[in-house]
Amino acid sequence: MSTTIANTLSEKTKGFSIEESLAFLANEYKGKVVFSTSFGQEDQVIKALISTNELPITIFTLDTGRLFQETYDVFHKTLKKYKKEIKVYFPEATAVEKLLEAKGPNSFYDSVENRKECCFIRKVAPLTKALKGNAIWITGLRAEQSENRHNLDLFEYDAHFDIIKFNPLLKWTLKEVEDYLEKNNVPQNALHKQGFVSIGCAPCTRAIAEGEDIRAGRWWWESSHKECGLHQK
Ligand code: SF4
């Protein structure tokens, strides 16, 4: 995998709809195209597109063990509605046991290093396992989600995971995402109606006020570092 391949895919799919791009990738990289979902609004759009078009793309989620009940609810509803398997990756039990024994269950509030340690065990390590051996990683990233994401491309080479990322909703606005979900009756996380926009683990996510940055509710006690290591941008 490389930046050259990302650029070539960008050229080859020029003018394609999202569904056409997904179908093209599924065919070109048979059995090696994966989509990671955390059941957020963008992910639910992509999930609906993959499922309703019956595209042979593996869908997986990372269950950190610290998710909101509302996230499990939308996970359950999504399974029932689309009847398509969602693979689940859990953190390694021994690593979680050791972390809690050494630092307690809420060590992430104590320092950025501790927070990153928890994110590594619960998210990055399972993600590494999920992406291993695959060629294309479909994400729900949008440019307006954060400053870091403004410069993303539709196809990006992720050197850390040595994989091509495809970000089909890159240019979509939040309004477009919400309209699609409403129009297509796609299950949504109930927390979105309570001011939660970007939803991660329960102890590390809060609702945001009107006008606040979309990712202000993630690790709100930190002044920066609004990423968890899954996405470098
Ligand atoms: Fe741990 Fe919070 Fe990161 Fe979840 S978001 S893995 S609870 S530090």
pLDDT of the residue at 7: 93
Q: Tell me the CA–centroid distance for residue 9 and ligand 1, in Å.
A: 33
Rounded to whole angstroms, how far apart are CA atoms 77 and 58?
A: 18
Record the tokens describing residue 159, joined without a space.
């050197």
30/126 Cα distance (integer angstroms): 22
Give me the active site residues, please: 228
Give the residues of the chain that fall short of pLDDT 50. none
Distance 7 CA to ligand 1 centre (A): 33
In this structure, what is the dihedral angle of CA atoms 197, 90, 139, 225, given to the nearest 10 degrees? 60
The answer to whether 6 and 158 are in contact (CB under 8 A) is: no
**Ligand 1 atom nearest to 108, measured from its CA:** 8
The residue assigned the tokens 């391949």 is 5
Q: What is the DSSP string of 150-191?
A: GG--SEEEETTTTEEEE-TTTT--HHHHHHHHHHTT----GG
The answer to whether the CB of 152 falls within 8 A of the CB of 144 is: no
The pLDDT value recorded for residue 2 is 85
Rounded distance between C-alpha atoms, residue 216 and residue 210, angstroms: 11
For ligand 1, atom 7, name the residue with the nearest CA: 201
Number of neighbours of residue 132 by Cβ within 10 angstroms: 10
Give the pLDDT of residue 153. 86
Ligand 1 centre from 110 Cα, in Å? 12
Domain boundaries, the chain: 2-193
Pairing of strands 155-158, 163-166: antiparallel
Instruction: Say if residues 75 and 101 touch (Cβ distance below 8 Å).
Output: no
Count Cα neighbours of 10 within 13 Å in the Cβ-side half-sphere. 15
Neighbour count for residue 183 (Cβ, 10 Å) = 8
- The identity of residue 71, as a single letter, is T
Closest CA to 22 of 109, 116, 140, 199: 140
Q: CATH class for domain 2-193?
A: alpha beta
- Return the pLDDT at 197: 86
Q: In testing the pocket of ligand 1, which one of 122, 124, 196 has its CB within 8 Å of the most ligand atoms?
A: 122
**Nearest-CA residue for atom 2 of ligand 1:** 204
For ligand 1, residues with CB inside 6 Å are: 64, 66, 108, 115, 118-119, 122-123, 200-201, 203-204, 228
Residue 41 CA, ligand 1 centroid: distance in Å: 20
Q: Global pTM? A: 0.92
Nearest Cα to Cα of residue 29 among 7, 2, 56, 61: 56
Residue 208's pLDDT is 87
